[in-house]
Amino acid sequence: MIQVSETAKQRVISLMTEEGYDATKDYVRVGVKSGGCSGLSYELNFDDTIAESDKVFEDNAVRIIVDKKSFLYLVGTVLEYSGGLNGKGFVFNNPNAQRTCGCGESFSL
């Protein structure tokens, strides 16, 4: 399961609306791909379709889909949003990551 903090929820809903998605019907697609300075990097997009192999979750009124491969890397992750002076944006607090890069956008196991 992936959890969504209150600040991330508010930002997700705002961005989905700006991009023409409906947060009550559409999804946040979270994934992992090869790349980044630590080996793996996070992906976050909006989507209105679910693939047969996708895992579907809902937390804090945010509907999330994760492909089967990425799910193994993301179990227990909390999606947060930091809008402070550093302007980090979305932050993945992943308990499975053993090492992350300085920017927090990539990780390794």
DSSP 19: T
Residue pLDDT, tens place only, 6-51: 999 999 999 999 999 999 999 999 998 876 555 788 899 999 999 9
For 51-104, give the secondary structure using H, E and C: CCCCEEEEECCEEEEECHHHHHHHCCCEEEEECCCCCCEEEEECCCCCEECCCC
Residue pLDDT, tens place only, 16-25: 999 999 999 9
80 token code pair? 């947060």
- Model confidence, pTM: 0.81
